[in-house]
Amino acid sequence: MKIHEIGEFGLIARLTSGMETGGGVVKGIGDDAAVLDSGEFLLLFTTDAVVEGVHFDRRYITVEDIGYKSMAVNISDIAAMGGKPTYAVVTVGLPDDFDVEDADAMYRGLRQVAANYGVVVVGGDITSAPVLIVNVALLGETAPDGVRYRSGAQPGDIICVTGSLGGSAGGLFLQGNEEFPCPEPLRDLLLKKHRRPEPRVAAGMVLGGLSGVHGLIDISDGLASDINHIALASGVGCHIYKAAVPVEPAAELVARRAGKDPVDWALYGGEDYELLFTVAPGAMGEISAALLACGADCRPVGRVLDGEGVWLVLAEGSLTALTGGYQHFSSAGGKDRGSRP
């Protein structure tokens, strides 16, 4: 049987079934990061790779941005647990004819975002490879009661996101359509959203510190896909209100000009690295205020329900099933995109 017949998520389920856990494992496979008991605090541990030709195309993105993004997406996984990122090891696979100056630039991007978020690169591996590959493994930490999981959502919760969505999809569109007419400031903003996402570490730490926050994930695959992850892990259903989905304004403008549905970009585009979380209704005021104080918005987009399934509530009140998002080995499901980590 070929992998594309069962898809990425099917393969993960198959390979990790029956994976043994140890005494110190609070949470193993199945969330954005593993959670390990480490005495006074919880240790978080995650890894994510980017591969040339799969996640990026060097004709469209600089090696410096590739380095930046490879680290940023891992930092976002720590933010998605409510944690503070700390130490990283980095594996780089380089073609033999790669330029040393490009390797310098790639590391420069990677070190820049690491420094921005207080991450120290403490080790790594450099190897030959047929294409450029960057793998980051990242540690983080939280207080014992400061961690949040995909599985924490409770019926009645309000579903929220930080910031706006679809900006990365807009940047990806502009990257692939260089001649598309777009004012430079908007183009720059959207390309930056796609190439240099800013993981929501401060917001994640705030959310982990508030007991009214129940379920938490980052939006890497897309709101549609990631709310399904929460629903499945929590054993709940969800309604997302289409009219409430916060579309990045610049992306909305570009999408309309291009004849695309901007909400599709927000739902399915992915790579926005905002946080998606569920909140006890009585805690909404406290949480909104705390997020505003750390520079993040709190946008309610839906409700958690008893039962199962994720539904998009259209303006007129009708429901449509909300599925999708990217999977590797994609014939088993999901949408293909030109680039994603």
Distance CA 275, CA 226 (A): 10
Largest Cα–Cα distance of the chain, in whole Å?
59
Distance CA 315, CA 210 (A): 32
> Does 1 interact with a second copy (rule: CB under 8 A)?
yes
x-or-dash pattern for a second copy, window 65-104, by CB under 8 A? ---------------------xx-xxx-xx-xxxxxx-xx
Provide the token pair at 213. Answer: 């926050």
Q: Choose between 115 and 289: whose C-beta lies nearer to a second copy.
A: 115
Interacting span for a second copy (CB under 8 A) from 2-10, 144-152, 166-174, 304-312 = 2-10
> Does 130 interact with a second copy (rule: CB under 8 A)?
yes
Q: Choose between 172 and 238: whose C-beta lies nearer to a second copy.
A: 172
The distance of closest approach from Cβ of residue 119 to a second copy in the complex, given in angstroms and rounded to an integer, is 9
Among 48, 221, 248, 264, binds a second copy (CB under 8 A): 48
Distance CA 242, CA 30 (A): 28
x-or-dash pattern for a second copy, window 251-290, by CB under 8 A? ----------------------------------------
Applying CB under 8 A, the site for a second copy has a residue count of: 73
Provide the token pair at 220. Answer: 């890497």
Residues 6+ apart with CB under 8 A from 237: 231, 304, 305, 306, 307, 308, 309, 310, 311
Q: Choose between 57 and 125: whose C-beta lies nearer to a second copy.
A: 125
> Does 211 interact with a second copy (rule: CB under 8 A)?
no
Q: Which SS3 state, helix, strand or coil, does residue 294 take?
A: coil
* DSSP assigned state of 242: G
87 closest CA partner among 51, 136, 39, 127: 136
Residues 14-33 that bind a second copy (CB under 8 A): 14-16, 19-22, 24-25, 28-29, 33
> Does 169 interact with a second copy (rule: CB under 8 A)?
no
Distance CA 269, CA 127 (A): 32
